[in-house]
Structure 1
Amino acid sequence: MKVFFRNIHLYLSLVSGLIIAVVCLTGAVLVFEKDLEQAWHPERYFVQASPTAALPLARLQQAVLAYKADAKITGVKVYADPTRTVEFSLAGGPEGGKKPEAGEAKGLRTEQARGSRPEGGQEARNGADKGEKGPEGKGGKGGKGGEGGRGPVVFVNPYTAAVTGELNYRETFFFTMMALHRGMLGGPVGKLIVGVSTLLFLFIIGTGLVLWWPATRKAVKQRLKVKWNSGWKRLNHDLHIVLGFYAALFLFVFAFTGLAWSFEWFNKGIFAVTNSPMERPEPPVSVVPAATAVATAAPAGALTTDAALTRARQLAPQAISYALQLPKDSTGSIRVATLRPNAVYENATDEVFLDQYSGQVLREQTYEQRNLGQRVRGLFKPVHTGSIFGWPSKIISLVVCVLGFTFPITGVIMWLNRLKKERKKLRRVAVA
């Protein structure tokens, strides 16, 4: 029976090993993406706290428009931390970066509807494939800002209104790593190849555990410890077998959650199993005053961004951050996402829609009020990236991804050694 499982393990690995190695390597790079971005470009994200009050958002908006005259501001994110810059999201299009490809955009739009909704700034880029549309993942009214793909993010010092940096995600190293990780730079076809390889990887892990299982209790110790002082063949064997056992559970979880970005049927299955609706309701609309009903966008009398932020702070005074997505037109509402200090993960936000004229709450929903499907789907990203428990789980994720990169290599070496051994045996038989 083990010969049967060994053959399955071998041939599936030969088919998908290279893809798995690349996915694991790029996954290792992406684990600390946010931390590395902030370490490499601290001026974008951090400023010296000032004893004076922060400037009004209107003043910061003027600085953004002076820096980028043709920009259309679609959202703003303000942190409670006085050392953080204010992040302004700009609309996509010619001035805001390249639009996502059709296949890419489809996956991005559905991401938010499942409960992992980006909030702007760095978290937005990490939240759903970098290029998503508005918070509802639809082309309708409400909190969505701007047309086209996600544009750049401009960072502004809240005390001096100085622009401290701009991030165009598609021009970064991490975007390339993400494109490799999700689809081998091959668009929808590459995404399918990665998805199929991930499915095969689940079977590879399962058959690997069957092959690892020792025949006797005495052999258990041998399968749990690497003999570092042995010959290179034995060391290669132990690196594959022993470390493979320790990494198997984590790799299985990472691969299983990764299917959510490859297959729509997998996401539909999550909502079917949890008996939850997949589509989110349309965002509510604002009540347009009669005098401004003919206006198309940002009519006179609309709530200022400062007023909207003040209202958001009244509703959630203890929040870590406030992400406002501005209305697209005169009937749209202002979507505010707030993150509580004890949030399960960084996208486990509470949500409220405000009338853009009166500031009245049109609809609100805490994280706990999301349906079960949204909450389960929302957990996939922090589990997949290892960020669910902060630095400890990130370090585990990094180590496991590096090991995942090595297993196809050590496995091929084991296979070649076995072939060489079998050829020698056949030659001896032929000579005899």
Structure 2
Amino acid sequence: MKIFFRNIHLYLSLVSGLVIAVVCLTGAVLVFEKDLEQAWHPERYFVAAPAQAADPLPLTRLMEAVRTYKADAKITGVKTYADPARTVEFSLAGAPGGPGGERKGEGARPAEAARRENTGPAGQSKEGRRGKGERGGKGGEKGGGGEGGRGPVVFVNPYTAAVTGELNYRETIFFTMMALHRGMVGGEIGKLIVGISTVMFLFIIGTGLVLWWPATRKALKQRLRVKWSSGWKRLNHDLHIVLGFYAALFLFVFAFTGLAWSFEWFNKGIYAVTNSPMQRPEPPVSVAPPTAQDAPAAPAALSADAALARARSLAPTAVSYALQLPKDSTGSIRVATLRPDATYENATDEVYLDQYSGQVLRQQTYEQRNLGQRVRGMFKPVHTGSIFGWPSKIISLVVCVLGFTFPITGTIMWLNRLRKQRRKERKLVAA
């Protein structure tokens, strides 16, 4: 029976090993994407705290600075933080079909949330806005992993209105890493190859555990420790077998959650198993006040400052406020707020405001999302290892690096086995 499992393990590994190695290596880089981006460009995200307590400038003043910086800028979203040392992030609409362009039917994504796959306009979770005909997760995006549909993000000092930087995601190394990670830079075909390789990887992990299972207690001790003082062949064997056992559970979880970005049927299955609807109701509509006959001008919409003040009154302890501005005269202002005790970064509460009166049209806390949305929303932080902060990120980094080495050490073991078998055959022929 072990020969059967060994053959499955071997042939699936030979077919998918290269893809698995690339996916694990790029995944190791993407684990600390946010941290590296902020470390490399701190001026974009942080400002020096003012010497004396100072109130930030109005958003309208900051928006003027953005329009001065980019004359043709169309601001689609704003994100502010309770932390006084953070900049204000303005998402701009990109040119459709061009670098940084927005996808049809979607505005540009605000900053921090924009770098997360599960986050849509103004920090809105994609899992929270699945609708009829909407594509799910990474699997629904087009191109090399679907990371091109983002407009630029402009960062502004809230106290001086100085533009501190601009982020065009397609121009970053992380865009290339993400394109490789999701689809090997091969568009829909590449995404399918990664998805099939991920399914194979799940079987590889399962058969690997069967092959690892020791027959005796003495063998168990050998398969739980790496014998560092042994020869290179034995050391390579231990690195594959022993470390493979310790990493198996984590790799299985990462691979399983990764299927949500490769196959739409997997996403549908999540909602089917949890008995939850994928489709969400359409955003509520703002009602314009009637205009007098002698004043035919269009009614004035709520300013960004008024919308932010309204959001702060509804959620005074929030860590961040992400505003998605209405696209037309009937649209509503969507605000996503993150509580200090949120389970993960995208576990936001949302509220829709009438763009004219500021009246709450619809409100939903994270706990009020249906079970399918909450389960699907957990996939991203679990997949990236950010669910428990730095400790889980470090574990994810180590496991991803090990995942990159296993196809290499496994191939060496296979080649050594082939050489050994050929030597035996030559001895038999000589005899």
Taking structure 1 as the reference length, what is the TM-score of the superposition?
A: 0.90
Give, in angstroms, the shift of residue 131 of structure 1. Answer: 9.8
Give, in angstroms, the shift of residue 126 of structure 1. Answer: 1.4
1:125-274 equivalences under 5 Å are 125-128=115-118, 136=129, 149-274=149-274
Distance 1:422 1:139, change over 3 A: closer
Aligned mates of 1:371, 1:137 — CA distance in 2: 12
1:404 aligned partner:
403
> Is the 1:90–1:96 contact (alpha carbons within 8 Å) kept by the matching residues of 2?
no
2:309 aligned partner:
310
1:72 aligned partner:
74
% same residue: 79
Amino acid of the residue matched to residue 263 of structure 2?
A: F
Give, in angstroms, the shift of residue 290 of structure 1. Answer: 2.4
1:36-51 equivalences under 5 Å are 36-50=36-50, 51=53
> Is the 1:125–1:131 contact (alpha carbons within 8 Å) kept by the matching residues of 2?
no
Aligned mates of 2:167, 2:223 — CA distance in 1: 48
Aligned mates of 1:213, 1:138 — CA distance in 2: 45
Aligned mates of 1:410, 1:149 — CA distance in 2: 38
Aligned mates of 1:134, 1:300 — CA distance in 2: 28
Give, in angstroms, the shift of residue 292 of structure 1. Answer: 9.4
Aligned mates of 2:123, 2:318 — CA distance in 1: 25
1:353-432 equivalences under 5 Å are 353-432=352-431
Aligned mates of 1:78, 1:161 — CA distance in 2: 14
Give, in angstroms, the shift of residue 426 of structure 1. Answer: 0.3
Amino acid of the residue matched to residue 125 of structure 1?
A: R
1:340 aligned partner:
339
Distance 1:69 1:134, change over 3 A: farther
Gaps of 5+ in 1: 113-117, 141-147
Q: Which of 101, 124, 143 is the aligned partner of 2:114?
A: 124
Give, in angstroms, the shift of residue 382 of structure 1. Answer: 0.1
Give, in angstroms, the shift of residue 411 of structure 1. Answer: 0.2
Aligned mates of 1:244, 1:431 — CA distance in 2: 39
Give, in angstroms, the shift of residue 409 of structure 1. Answer: 0.2
Structure 2 counterpart SS, 1:151: coil
1:57 aligned partner:
59
Aligned mates of 2:162, 2:122 — CA distance in 1: 28
Cα offsets for 1:49-79 (capped at 9, x unmatched): 2221100000000000000000100000000
Structure 1 counterpart SS, 2:152: strand
Aligned mates of 1:61, 1:67 — CA distance in 2: 10
Taking structure 2 as the reference length, what is the TM-score of the superposition?
A: 0.91
> Is the 2:47–2:87 contact (alpha carbons within 8 Å) kept by the matching residues of 1?
yes
Give, in angstroms, the shift of residue 342 of structure 1. Answer: 0.3
1:313-332 equivalences under 5 Å are 313-332=312-331
Aligned mates of 1:344, 1:134 — CA distance in 2: 15
Give, in angstroms, the shift of residue 288 of structure 1. Answer: 1.4
Amino acid of the residue matched to residue 196 of structure 2?
A: V
1:4-15 equivalences under 5 Å are 4-15=4-15
Amino acid of the residue matched to residue 287 of structure 1?
A: V
> Is the 1:97–1:152 contact (alpha carbons within 8 Å) kept by the matching residues of 2?
no
Structure 1 counterpart SS, 2:288: coil
Distance 1:38 1:96, change over 3 A: farther
Distance 1:129 1:30, change over 3 A: farther
Distance 1:203 1:40, change over 3 A: same
CA RMSD in angstroms, aligned pairs only: 2.5
> Is the 1:292–1:299 contact (alpha carbons within 8 Å) kept by the matching residues of 2?
no
Aligned mates of 1:392, 1:415 — CA distance in 2: 35
> Is the 2:76–2:93 contact (alpha carbons within 8 Å) kept by the matching residues of 1?
yes
Cα offsets for 1:317-376 (capped at 9, x unmatched): 000000000000000000000000000000000000000000000000000000000000
Gaps of 5+ in 2: 134-147
Aligned mates of 1:127, 1:351 — CA distance in 2: 18
Distance 1:4 1:94, change over 3 A: closer
Aligned mates of 2:322, 2:109 — CA distance in 1: 6
1:28-39 equivalences under 5 Å are 28-39=28-39
Distance 1:137 1:376, change over 3 A: closer
Q: Which of 92, 95, 119 is the aligned partner of 2:94?
A: 92
Structure 1 counterpart SS, 2:116: helix
Distance 1:266 1:391, change over 3 A: same
2:139 aligned partner:
none
Aligned mates of 2:190, 2:222 — CA distance in 1: 40
Aligned mates of 1:248, 1:292 — CA distance in 2: 70
Aligned mates of 1:38, 1:262 — CA distance in 2: 29
Aligned mates of 2:183, 2:198 — CA distance in 1: 11
Cα offsets for 1:108-155 (capped at 9, x unmatched): 98xx9xxxxx97212222133899998746799xxxxxxx94210000
Aligned mates of 1:301, 1:7 — CA distance in 2: 70
Distance 1:71 1:159, change over 3 A: same
Give, in angstroms, the shift of residue 301 of structure 1. Answer: 1.4
Structure 1 runs (4+) greater than 2 angstroms displaced = 94-100, 127-140, 290-293
Give, in angstroms, the shift of residue 95 of structure 1. Answer: 11
1:144 aligned partner:
none
1:83 aligns with 2:101: no
